[in-house]
């Protein structure tokens, strides 16, 4: 998808409607058109990035900082807000629907309808240790500048 086809890029350019809450040189935050709860915001970098792999680290830090600040705003706004979720879906398998990185920031309260269901069972330490070793190895390779992706494990 090109920047010209991206709805969030169109919002950033001012070519599509949005209800803006925050606007600076690098980041735009606006109301989600299909909110989970009243006050549901989307925080996007103004530079197009499909997913986290494409997102510049500095832009990611700016998105997070704006999301963090807007979490405080939501808590103090008078909107129903007993908690906050920060949610970022990276890739189709993670339920990303708009392929421009965006951080969801939304109020939570008892009885709201947002749910993530998963197998939350406790794992064996050996399984956790094995996974941690794979991640440490990958982290070391990335730190050393290795671009290749290893084969996926189960």
CB atoms within 10 A of CB 131: 12
Whether the full predicted model's pTM is greater than 0.85, yes or no, is: yes
The predicted pLDDT at position 39 comes to 98
Report how far residue 36's alpha carbon sits from residue 32's, in angstroms, rounded to the nearest whole number: 8
The predicted pLDDT at position 151 comes to 60
Residues 141, 147, 151, 152, Cα dihedral to 10°? 80
| Cβ-based neighbours of 19, under 8 Å, separated by 6 or more | 30, 31
The predicted pLDDT at position 122 comes to 94
The predicted pLDDT at position 96 comes to 97
Q: Is the pLDDT of residue 3 over 90?
A: no
Q: Is the pLDDT of residue 1 over 90?
A: no
Residue 21 Cα distances to 1, 37, 140, 143, 152, angstroms: 26, 16, 39, 36, 40
Taking only the tens place, the pLDDT of each residue in 115-152 is 988 888 999 999 999 999 999 999 999 899 876 566 66
């Amino acid at each position: 998808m090109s920047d010209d086809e991206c709805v969030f890029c169109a919002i950033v350019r001012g070519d599509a409607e949005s209800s803006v809450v925050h606007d600076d040189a690098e980041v735009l935050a606006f109301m989600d058109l299909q909110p989970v709860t009243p006050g549901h915001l989307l925080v996007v970098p103004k530079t197009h990035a499909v997913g986290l792999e494409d997102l510049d680290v500095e832009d990611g830090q700016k998105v997070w900082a704006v999301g963090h600040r807007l979490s405080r705003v939501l808590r103090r706004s008078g909107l129903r807000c007993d908690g906050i979720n920060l949610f970022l879906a990276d890739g189709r398998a993670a339920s990303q629907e708009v392929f421009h990185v965006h951080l969801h920031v939304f109020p939570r309260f008892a009885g709201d309808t947002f749910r993530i269901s998963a197998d939350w069972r406790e794992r064996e330490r050996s399984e956790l240790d094995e996974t941690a070793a794979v991640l440490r190895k990958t982290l070391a390779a990335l730190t050393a500048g290795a671009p290749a992706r290893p084969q996926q494990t189960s």
